[in-house]
Amino acid sequence: MANTIKISKSKNLIFKKLSFLYLVFILFLFLSSPGKFLDHYENLEPAQEAVIERLKEQMKNLPETEAKSKALKLETEKALATLEDLRENYHQYRATNHIAGEKLKENLFATKEVLQTNQGARLQSALATYNTAYQNFGGVDLSDELLKLLDHSDQEFEAREFFFKETPNAVIESVINHLQTTILLRSIELLQGEKAQLFKEEVLPAGQLDLIQNFKKSLTRGEQLLFKIRIPDSVQQLQVLINGEKLMPTEVDSAYCHFSYLPPQTGAYNLDLLLDDQHFYHNFKVLQPGIRINRSGSNFISQVGETQTLSLNPKYLPKGELEFKSKHADLKFNGNALEITPLHAGAFDVQMLWQGQFIDSIGLFAQDVSVIDVALMDLAGKENKVQKVAYLEATNPFWQVVNFRLRITKPNGKQVVLHNATRFLRSELREAILQAPRGSVLAFEQIKVIGKNGYTYRDGRSIIKML
């Protein structure tokens, strides 16, 4: 008991009261503290909005070259509109509740009007839809910037919580401006293939420099950028930068400096060339390998057993070992043309594999066919007169005749019916045809064909001939 002090009950009660009053004092001190630091956020808004207007002008002037670029611009505008709706709701809330002074420190709008209503859900959904369009166009995921973000303790939060949980009223518009700026910057960089700039530098495109060879504007992931630069005697210093990082030559000979660069991921890249006091640039994109179809040269109507040709965009085809597979179709890949012969009716998938790994797939649909055209063939494999017929053959090589019936109607009305269990005419049928009098009608009917898949049967179209 040497290290303890015994106090009376009355003194203990006094200590408890003092502790409680001290806590109350701290609480009042916090509530009465000035919120002047929040004024800085409102001072940022004019500059943020000026940047947004400049970026919107750049976005408006960008061309729409394909369906995916149109989809990205559309989803960008939708996401911006959702954020503008949120801004308008905040303005109404601010006017209704007279938000000024000390009320700028409150977070009731973020808590009750965003997180506890469907406004937050709409915002999260709009950002997710935009991210999907961004991924479809450029193959890059912006989730860590717009959808699921990490705080300083590496704890993950959805965007609506990360940006609006306990956010003071004075910061709301600054957060909205930040999200709009991020969306615009990312869209512009992806659509124009270079970093967005508010003010253009006085630099020249590399195309105006006749010292460079073998530059490309687009690569697929896994493809190297190879180029060489001829250095004239007048140039004392050469520096090559890709996305701000210095690139060293792989080889230097008497005429050229040779460079190679393997992009680590998809996206837009900037290449800067510094030759003494001259600055040249080149921009290129690294595309996600995949199945991209050129509409010209492609046949989009498919039937079972008929070959369908898809013309693939070579820009998106990776270099190296490339193959296509499908469980429900025969495939042939030649150059940039993919020939597809469906084995059955209905939906089926075609997969692209690069170096043995799955890269992309496309869903197709094959229509059913009910009747198959059949021809009478002679021993030489040519379509000929009925007297020289040796076998029946489907005009589409996917199908093969398996059996049929021959009905011979003579001029006197008498009929002879013969069955054949293969596509080749047995001797009895050939003799019956040769012995049939002139004017007889021959009907090859009840023809059955089977597909190459070994289980799909169809009817062959009947053939009527007169001797």
Residue recorded with tokens 């670029």: 69
Report the candidate in 83, 89, 264 with the shortest Cα–Cα distance to residue 181.
83
Under a CB-based contact definition with an 8 Å cutoff, are residues 405 and 446 in contact?
Answer: yes
Global confidence as pTM: 0.39
Rounded alpha-carbon distances, angstroms, from residue 381 to 285, 376, 391, 401, 406: 53, 9, 9, 14, 20
Each of the 467 residues of the chain gets a pLDDT tens digit; together they read 456 666 666 666 666 666 666 666 555 544 445 455 555 666 677 777 888 888 888 888 777 667 777 888 888 888 888 888 888 988 888 888 887 777 777 788 888 888 888 888 888 888 888 888 888 877 778 888 888 887 777 788 888 888 888 888 788 888 888 888 888 888 888 877 766 555 454 444 455 455 555 566 777 777 788 888 877 776 677 788 888 888 888 888 877 888 888 888 878 888 888 877 677 777 888 877 777 777 666 666 677 777 878 888 777 777 777 888 888 888 888 878 888 888 877 888 888 887 778 878 888 888 777 788 888 888 888 887 888 888 999 888 888 998 999 888 888 888 888 898 888 988 888 888 888 888 888 889 899 998 887 778 888 888 888 87
Query: What whole-number distance in Å separates Cα of residue 56 and Cα of residue 60?
Result: 6
The pair of structure tokens assigned to 108 is 């009731």
What string of H, E and C letters represents the secondary structure of 12-37?
Answer: HHHHHHHHHHHHHHHHHHHHCCCCHH
List the end-to-end C-alpha distance of the chain, in Å, as a whole number: 130
Q: Are 59 and 185 in contact (CB under 8 A)?
A: no
State phi, psi for 5 to the nearest 5 degrees.
-120, 130
Give the H or E element holding residue 129.
Answer: helix 118-138
